[in-house]
Structure 1
Amino acid sequence: MNFISTRNASPAVSLSQAIAAGLAPDGGLYVPQQMPAARTLAAGASLAATATTLLQPFFAGDALEPELAGICEQAFDFPAPLQSLATRNDHVLELFHGPTAAFKDFGARFLAASLSRLRAGQERPLTIIVATSGDTGAAVAAAFHNQPNLEVVVLYPDGRVSPRQAHQLGCLGGNIRALRVAGSFDDCQAMAKQALNDADLQAQVPLSSANSISLGRLLPQMSYYAHAALEHRARHEAPLNVVIPTGNLGNAMAAVMARALGVSLGRILLATNANRVLPDYFGGGQYAPKPSVATLANAMDVGAPSNFERLRWLYKGDDAALRTEFFARAVDDATIRETIACRYSAYGEVFCPHTATAVNVLEQLRASGEAAAGEHWAVAATAHPAKFESVVEPLIGREVPVPAALAELLKRPAHAEPCPPEYAALRERLLNS
């Protein structure tokens, strides 16, 4: 299978080329030249086996095809359990059991496993540049740490990530370099994209991306939705509807693509924080990126969701169809706090701020009747609440136990270099690293 740019101004490339490049030369995002036919998947397989079957058409004919099963075994070696919530027919898809306690561990480890195979025997190292609003950078840093012939530069908005997120970003060292940018996530993302589109820089310092713009991260994220939907249908004989907290739209786009491949997912609804670009668009307004605002759910502080290009591509630019198929709701900080506190008080459930946005949207759906009593819904739990202890613990009145892998990272000393929100500063660091 070949892959093309969402902007249709770059030549088609192989999957390996698309993964290695990250961003297409015309600035667009890589997408399959055509979506594969629906896949036949069976419940009862491991998550890694489900991923292998689901992803096989995308790898067909590529140099990585013989490696696919091994890549999946390496990336999907921790669970993504679908747990029942206290409220009837409601579930939570726990995606935070990886090394950095966030859903992005799945895609980051898959990308690292793919690139390590592609770069084997290469003389020049490949530098992965990643902008993060919180969890992406930590997942990428952990996945690529000590990988030969691969280096990572992480850009994050200084003061706009949680203390534990910031610690994770700067605690690994070695081939991982963290830059704390005096700006917003949108500044970080713009700088990363400019570097990836700088042909002169690329000639001197080969670069690739590990943001959700990377196919190597997007494609594997379909797998946990497919696995959960299969297991759920086997138990309940009903499709699984999902509410997904989203910022850059990558995790939600993975669910949309999984459903397009025949996975038994019902409705896919989006929950955002006070950054309202997607709710305003799906509510009938123009798609109008704007500067992001800082919120408690900082990993979703995105004012220009990159993967919107992919969503529009999948629906052939039909805004009416998109607005019919999806909607997004914004949840403010006060409501996030209230949801965390009330769910713990009523049911003993503990959620991170991002997951709480989706829980609140599901509560709204149930209360309004938009989600019928007999429908089964799942919230995508994108991060462990222990990563946001300064928000969560005062609201629930107790400490949140720290997962063992996260605790190990927090024991390490951390360092990040200050960086102005200017591309010239990033370019200089890349050339002189």
Structure 2
Amino acid sequence: MKLYNLKDHTEEVNFLNAIQSGLGKKQGLFFPKYLPKFNSHDLKKLIKMDFITRSTHILSHFISDEISLPDLKKQIKYAFSFTPPIIVPVTKNISCLELFHGPTLAFKDFGARFMANMLSYWKNKNSSMTILTATSGDTGAAVAHAFYCMNNIRVVILYPKGRISILQEKLFCTLGKNIHTIAIDGSFDDCQYLVKQSFNDKKLKEKIGLNSANSINISRLLAQICYYFEAFALIPSKHHNNVVISVPCGNFGNLTAGLIAKSLGLPIKSFIAATNANDTVPRFLNNGVWKPNNTISTISNAMDISEPNNWPRVEELFRRKNWNLHTLKSESISDKKTIKTLQELYKIGYVSEPHAAIAYKVLIKNMKKTDFGLFLGTAHPSKFQDTVESILNIKLKLPYSLQSRVNLKNFSHHMKPDFLKLKNFLLKKI
């Protein structure tokens, strides 16, 4: 499989090179040169497969020339060795696709664990690597647990101090060993900018074997394609031509994966990109002007991103498929409306959290009565315990993966958004 750099189409790499380097020249994102297409007969066969077999078949179309089918299935089976996606009916024609039943209770377990297994499979035993990534909440935990205790792989995670939930922080800042976490005085965009500066430093990149596990890494996106196909396996076939999916969006990786699934032939009627007050994309689709504002802190903190990294991939896919970008619906929801929506969902019997609530609110505003609506549940409500309990006036029972870390020591370092300080930290910790 060949992938090209969106900022320099002359740079082409294979899948292994893409996941090892993360970014191309000029910090360009990699994108598949060839997108397979499944016909209706292929889709029927895929839908009947179990999750692991189907995921192997889908991903083999991207990387089969670099790994044998049996080895790929083995790696996928290990990566996805947790409860697969679940569809929970919320109203008569709306359901939630729950993606948070993995080890860190977030959808990012799929991409992070697949990436970790692929890197581990190909990695030279004698070489070292530093995974540097920024998180607005859930990526940190998923990446930390996926790479925890892997030989010669050091993970450094940057996160905005005081802007993620306490339990989110506990999940990845209490591990230690090869996992290093740094609380940055600033926003997620500040953290993301530090990562980009690090990748711009060629000497640093080469000296520490720098890589990233953000959704800028193509392996993360490819893994996420698989659960959109699983959704169709769980939805009654009579609804297959009327499925509208609402995605809570931060860095837009989840949406990009869904759009790629659609390009492969999955008959998704339409997507809705749901955002919080950080509304760069909704404004852009409305007026054609790309103008990120300063990042606003909200109760849906994993979406507190003003400059979504994956947006160039979205635009490239629409260009490649000759789709009209303005057919993509996108809307932002305020904290006030998010709180009201959480309460509405609770009244009809569904306990949610802010991100999924935003996706649900935008979905009910934009779907037709004949549509089958699906909104993505990207994180377990208990990861936002204080917020959810105070809004709904209930007491949540913490899953063991959270409860077991509540009283553990936080090993995080603290740093201002200063690249030289981060560089020194990265060099000292080799």
Q: TM-score by structure 2 length?
A: 0.95
Is the 8 Å Cα contact of residues 16 and 63 (structure 1) preserved in structure 2? no
Tell me which residue corresponds to 1:106: 110
Mapped partners of 2:98, 2:407: distance in 1: 25
Is the 8 Å Cα contact of residues 243 and 380 (structure 1) preserved in structure 2? yes
* Mapping for residues 66-215 of structure 1, pairs under 5 Å: 67-77=71-81, 78-85=83-90, 87-121=91-125, 123-215=126-218
Pairing 1:360–2:361 present: yes
Is the 8 Å Cα contact of residues 91 and 377 (structure 1) preserved in structure 2? yes
Tell me how far 1:231 sits from its aligned partner.
2.9
Mapped partners of 1:268, 1:107: distance in 2: 20
Instruction: State the Cα deviation string for residues 345-403 of structure 1 (Å, max 9, x = none).
Output: x21211111011011112222xxxxx221210100001011000111001111111212
What SS class does the counterpart of residue 415 from structure 1 fall into?
coil
The residue type equivalent to 1:425 in the other structure is K
Mapped partners of 1:50, 1:410: distance in 2: 37
Tell me which residue corresponds to 2:350: 349
Farther-moved stretch of structure 1 (183-192 vs 397-406): 397-406
Instruction: State the Cα deviation string for residues 88-119 of structure 1 (Å, max 9, x = none).
Output: 11000000001111110110110111111121
Tell me how far 1:70 sits from its aligned partner.
1.4
Tell me which residue corresponds to 1:402: 398
Mapped partners of 1:90, 1:108: distance in 2: 28
Mapped partners of 2:24, 2:379: distance in 1: 30
Tell me how far 1:322 sits from its aligned partner.
0.4
**Aligned counterpart for 1:277 among listed residues 275, 280, 303:** 280
Tell me how far 1:37 sits from its aligned partner.
2.5
Mapped partners of 1:183, 1:319: distance in 2: 39
Pairing 1:302–2:305 present: yes
Pairing 1:375–2:380 present: no
What SS class does the counterpart of residue 111 from structure 1 fall into?
helix
Tell me how far 1:414 sits from its aligned partner.
1.8
Tell me how far 1:33 sits from its aligned partner.
1.3
The residue type equivalent to 1:296 in the other structure is I
Mapped partners of 2:49, 2:243: distance in 1: 18
Tell me how far 1:62 sits from its aligned partner.
1.6
Tell me how far 1:120 sits from its aligned partner.
4.1
Tell me which residue corresponds to 1:431: 427
Instruction: State the Cα deviation string for residues 400-429 of structure 1 (Å, max 9, x = none).
Output: 121222222334322210011011111111
What SS class does the counterpart of residue 390 from structure 2 fall into?
helix
Tell me which residue corresponds to 1:12: 12
**Aligned counterpart for 1:56 among listed residues 53, 60, 70:** 60
Is the 8 Å Cα contact of residues 232 and 239 (structure 1) preserved in structure 2? no
Tell me how far 1:163 sits from its aligned partner.
0.8
Tell me which residue corresponds to 2:319: 316
Mapped partners of 2:329, 2:68: distance in 1: 36
Tell me which residue corresponds to 2:34: 34
Mapped partners of 1:329, 1:91: distance in 2: 20
Tell me which residue corresponds to 2:415: 419
What SS class does the counterpart of residue 258 from structure 1 fall into?
helix
Q: Report the CA distance shift for 1:118/1:410 in structure 2 as closer, same or farther (over 3 A).
A: farther
Tell me how far 1:237 sits from its aligned partner.
4.9
Instruction: State the Cα deviation string for residues 122-179 of structure 1 (Å, max 9, x = none).
Output: x231111110001101110011101112110000000110111111231111100000
Mapped partners of 2:69, 2:9: distance in 1: 27
Tell me which residue corresponds to 2:332: 330
What SS class does the counterpart of residue 12 from structure 1 fall into?
strand
Is the 8 Å Cα contact of residues 245 and 380 (structure 1) preserved in structure 2? yes
Farther-moved stretch of structure 1 (205-214 vs 39-48): 39-48
What SS class does the counterpart of residue 204 from structure 1 fall into?
helix
Mapped partners of 2:215, 2:236: distance in 1: 28
Q: Report the CA distance shift for 1:175/1:10 in structure 2 as closer, same or farther (over 3 A).
A: farther
Mapped partners of 1:22, 1:175: distance in 2: 20
Mapped partners of 1:233, 1:55: distance in 2: 24
Q: TM-score by structure 1 length?
A: 0.94
Is the 8 Å Cα contact of residues 96 and 382 (structure 1) preserved in structure 2? yes
| Long gaps (5+) in structure 1 | 366-370
Cα RMSD for the two superposed structures:
1.8
What SS class does the counterpart of residue 281 from structure 2 fall into?
helix
Q: Report the CA distance shift for 1:235/1:430 in structure 2 as closer, same or farther (over 3 A).
A: same
Tell me which residue corresponds to 1:47: 51
Tell me how far 1:263 sits from its aligned partner.
1.1
Is the 8 Å Cα contact of residues 232 and 238 (structure 1) preserved in structure 2? no
Is the 8 Å Cα contact of residues 350 and 385 (structure 1) preserved in structure 2? yes
Mapped partners of 1:66, 1:431: distance in 2: 39
Instruction: State the Cα deviation string for residues 258-315 of structure 1 (Å, max 9, x = none).
Output: 0000112221101100001011011133122232111000000001001011011112
What SS class does the counterpart of residue 48 from structure 2 fall into?
coil
Mapped partners of 1:30, 1:44: distance in 2: 31
Pairing 1:228–2:224 present: no
